[in-house]
Structure 1
């Protein structure tokens, strides 16, 4: 029996389609009471609450000052990495920085009517607290993706938090180096809800920030939901997921590895293939089974855990139906696997709307590791509502309003009419007095 079950989109049992569409995106309402207690504990006890939790993670008493990563540890982290990893991180940063620099908005001034000038300023937030998970693996790529946009935006104070690595009070070296190379200068060893609470509330050791960003598990996500009235928070970014649309023109083995690209992240990841040929679906399923046998642990176990649960192969009756399903699924990563991928995308560009990023005949991993766009993307169907992390997460865009005397005089009839209609006499008098037109 194939690891990846094959279903027809039209005929699949409703509970199967609901499970595929829902994937593993957790309802955090069940853990919110405990997360709320963590946040209140950090509010009341500050560093002591965080140090107590860290002590339970590393198996010894942790002092609050150990949460801070100092210059010596940063230097040691650089020395621990081989030249190949350092070179790859630098190239990743360069590409991501180049793309995000192109995304930076510019201040503007436009004359909307003679003498009426409207403008916008672009101002970075004063500080950002960025979270990089550490658990199943080392994630320097996440450091790059969350730190570079804040740096390009011009945030003067960028702090990065990550959990203890290897049951020791140290930050994973590649994660630390990548964040430092990307522009962060403040580092804390702390994780999950405690890290989010510390950034949002501030403690003796951890200074409060204006924005919290970065992916994480359900506890991190729940904490960000609960502090969103205190700080700006970014998009919902949970377990990795991909939707692959394949038209049958590529070698099934290529498509199989593209599917496993996101499935290998963890047991709660999701990878769905949609194709328009049942025969091609079976051939890809066979290649997926062969590919799984080649995977080392724990990746093999991760793939098998989500296969048939959140991951599957779906057969569409047409490319139109495949595109409609893609919109309903709203994938973090959408991959069009075809030797004419750009042509297909051009054909459906106005109709294909819901995705975090679309890869046109390009492995998802190329984007994960620095093709340019950000790899911190909305998951769990939130691509219908959110875009990926970018410079906008770290910017404010206040507006500017200018009316010359001539402009105000010409626009006064509109202001006076609307002010009187809405019952605001002071609004009207503010214009009349300035123009010297007060009615006696």
Structure 2
């Protein structure tokens, strides 16, 4: 059921999906730019088969959502919120640090939260209250003043409960590329944001990338992926379960097993067939498995190199010496170490964030964290002694570059 893959072709194919939809996304963006709310109503009817008269979710709708959600689910979300908040609190930096580096010269960094951000939460095939937690909580921990969220209609009550527990009430019933356009450009109902975060399909991700001049983004976070490094010590049933768990996300999801043992790849493929028969979301999984497969390497070091080239969204390490691989591997959005660390734990309850770069972008981007919602300003406090310490250097370099007024701005203070 799994086929052998060529790593470079696989990576190139993951990236190509964004450009394939660029024309359609451009059309949607222009429609939202020109027609605002009416374009969002039009797309809700066209794509979601929902007639809307207003975009913003009301406080009554949020309160009523609890009546339609099992209390056990509410309690699980509350527990998950606490774990996610705790982990993200560890990431906070001092608002201001200063260090005396020379007599009369003090340097530092001031960290400031962004003012307004937008969180995108997918819908359609499933309800994602966990993503409401993952996008809103780090923004809240960072101290962002205004947080808004967009998710496709009809909004599942469970998602609304997730938003409420996460601490956001500015929620709009719009999804897809049109939601990204609304948050970036603004409409009659949606005030534009400074930054947009959250995962989505290729249309959502393409829109985020195309609108960066209006609102910064976290990173490209498209259809889900898992890479698995495994050796003969790994349990084929565990690996197959991880593959199917990732494949059920989306028809464009992808799973790659990188191993030194072809016999393991064959056993995993048999296990995938067996477990697939019991899987509820067969249609989605079957399509995702077409994007999936295995790569055979001669050595564990080669397997690590191949995995770094793939730069998967999720990386599962299931080898005898897992800490060795953890220390060596460089490119992955989130790493799961050992046979008892399924990716699902990071999706919901370990506390780490599940909004992660895909399509090889973990080579250059980190997963969503508190720093995505802050910016820094460098600080220098210089008195006369400090100016004397560095004045000659500044004057010499400024004059060498032909910037004589720069040099004079120092010289006039030293006279």
Counting only pairs closer than 5 Å after superposition, residues 131-150 of structure 1 correspond to structure 2 as: 131-150=120-139
Distance 2:178 2:11 in 1: 31
Aligned to 2:285: 303
Aligned to 1:168: none
Superposed CA offset, 1:333-352 (max 9, x none): 110114x4xx433x244531
Q: CA deviation at 1:36?
A: 2.2
Q: CA deviation at 1:112?
A: 2.1
- 269-278 or 68-77, larger mean C-alpha shift: 269-278
Q: Is the counterpart of residue 219 in structure 1 residue 203 in structure 2? A: yes
Q: Is the counterpart of residue 77 in structure 1 residue 54 in structure 2? A: no
Distance 1:251 1:17 in 2: 24
Aligned to 1:238: 222
Conserved? CA contact 1:24–1:310, under 8 Å: no
Q: Is the counterpart of residue 98 in structure 1 residue 86 in structure 2? A: yes
In the alignment, which of 49, 57, 73 is matched to residue 39 of structure 2? 49
Q: CA deviation at 1:406?
A: 0.9
Q: TM-score, normalised by structure 2?
A: 0.95
Distance 2:26 2:235 in 1: 50
Conserved? CA contact 2:313–2:334, under 8 Å: yes
Superposed CA offset, 1:28-66 (max 9, x none): 334323322322222222112212222334556533xx1
Q: CA deviation at 1:402?
A: 1.0
Q: Which runs of 5+ in 1 are unaligned?
A: 166-170
Distance 1:321 1:28 in 2: 29
In the alignment, which of 299, 303, 311 is matched to residue 330 of structure 1? 311
Distance 1:177 1:104 in 2: 26
Conserved? CA contact 1:330–1:382, under 8 Å: yes
Instruction: Label 1:99 to 1:408 Cα distance change in 2 as closer, same or farther (>3 A).
Output: same
Counting only pairs closer than 5 Å after superposition, residues 259-270 of structure 1 correspond to structure 2 as: 259-270=243-254
Give 3-state SS (helix, strand or coil) of 1:289's partner: helix
Aligned to 2:359: 380
Aligned to 2:369: 390
Superposed CA offset, 1:293-334 (max 9, x none): 1111xx222222232x32112322221121111111111111
Q: Give the CA RMSD over aligned residues.
A: 1.7
The number of aligned residues is 412
Q: CA deviation at 1:381?
A: 0.8
Superposed CA offset, 1:336-385 (max 9, x none): 114x4xx433x244531111111001111000112121111111111111
In the alignment, which of 313, 316, 320 is matched to residue 301 of structure 2? 320
Q: Is the counterpart of residue 152 in structure 1 residue 141 in structure 2? A: yes
Q: TM-score, normalised by structure 1?
A: 0.89
Conserved? CA contact 1:19–1:310, under 8 Å: no
Conserved? CA contact 1:116–1:407, under 8 Å: yes
Aligned to 2:322: 344
Q: Is the counterpart of residue 417 in structure 1 residue 401 in structure 2? A: no
In the alignment, which of 356, 363, 369 is matched to residue 342 of structure 2? 363
Distance 1:381 1:392 in 2: 21
Instruction: Label 1:421 to 1:25 Cα distance change in 2 as closer, same or farther (>3 A).
Output: closer
Instruction: Label 1:212 to 1:60 Cα distance change in 2 as closer, same or farther (>3 A).
Output: closer
Aligned to 1:37: 27
Distance 1:271 1:292 in 2: 14
Distance 1:48 1:20 in 2: 40
Conserved? CA contact 1:332–1:379, under 8 Å: yes
Distance 1:123 1:46 in 2: 31
In the alignment, which of 75, 81, 85 is matched to residue 87 of structure 1? 75
Q: Is the counterpart of residue 110 in structure 1 residue 99 in structure 2? A: yes
Distance 2:161 2:13 in 1: 33
Conserved? CA contact 1:23–1:310, under 8 Å: no
Q: CA deviation at 1:196?
A: 1.1
Give 3-state SS (helix, strand or coil) of 1:193's partner: helix
Counting only pairs closer than 5 Å after superposition, residues 122-137 of structure 1 correspond to structure 2 as: 122-137=111-126
Aligned to 1:183: 167
Distance 2:336 2:20 in 1: 35
Instruction: Label 1:270 to 1:57 Cα distance change in 2 as closer, same or farther (>3 A).
Output: closer
Distance 1:330 1:60 in 2: 38
